[in-house]
Amino acid sequence: MTAETDRHALDCEEDDKGGASDERSARLGTYAMGLALATLLTVASFWIAGTNLIYAPGIPVALATLAVAQMGIHLVFFLHLTTAPDNTNNILALAFGLLIVGLVVFGSVWIMAHLNHNMMPMQQLMQMQR
């Protein structure tokens, strides 16, 4: 009975190793696919920036689209963000991070846009230096 139990335990270990190997190769495949897509989008971005085949005002739009796609590739293939129930905290953390970045960018742009309005006129500044 102990030999049979040991043999069963050994079979289970081999199954676990095989399962781990399959999981590892699936992860490697996911990373390789993400790398290939990210590389393709990067090459496309450089091609778009350097070509004359695209209407010039459309280049920033095309680059922004490729940048958003690149971020999506990184989130899905490298950070493994999905809509699964166990990823709820990760998605909330990402949304909060995007909110903070948006606030910082919006605030910076607002400050830079209103900088001249809040400055003292040059004539008064020159009179103060005399």
pLDDT of 105 reads 95
- Identify the CA nearest to 34 among candidates 80, 69, 77, 70: 77
pLDDT of 26 reads 83
Q: Do both 6 and 66 map to the same domain?
A: yes
Alpha-carbon gap, residue 127 to 130, rounded angstroms:
6
pTM of the model: 0.59
Q: Do both 5 and 55 map to the same domain?
A: yes
Name the 3-class secondary structure at 62: helix
Q: Do both 125 and 92 map to the same domain?
A: yes
pLDDT of 16 reads 52
Number of domains in the chain: 2
Q: Do both 4 and 30 map to the same domain?
A: yes
Amino acid at 4: E
Would you give per-residue pLDDT tens digits along the chain (130 residues)? 455 555 555 455 545 555 678 888 888 888 999 999 999 999 999 999 999 888 989 999 999 999 999 999 998 898 888 878 888 888 888 899 899 999 999 999 998 888 877 777 778 778 887 7
Q: Do both 68 and 28 map to the same domain?
A: yes
Range of the structural domain that residue 126 is part of: 83-130
Q: Do both 76 and 94 map to the same domain?
A: no
* 71, two tokens: 């971020």
Alpha-carbon gap, residue 74 to 66, rounded angstroms:
12
pLDDT of 92 reads 86
Q: Do both 70 and 124 map to the same domain?
A: no
Q: Do both 73 and 91 map to the same domain?
A: no
What Å distances lie between residue 102 and 21, 95, 97, CA to CA? 41, 10, 8
Dihedral sign of CA atoms 52, 58, 64, 65 in order: negative
Q: Do both 101 and 61 map to the same domain?
A: no
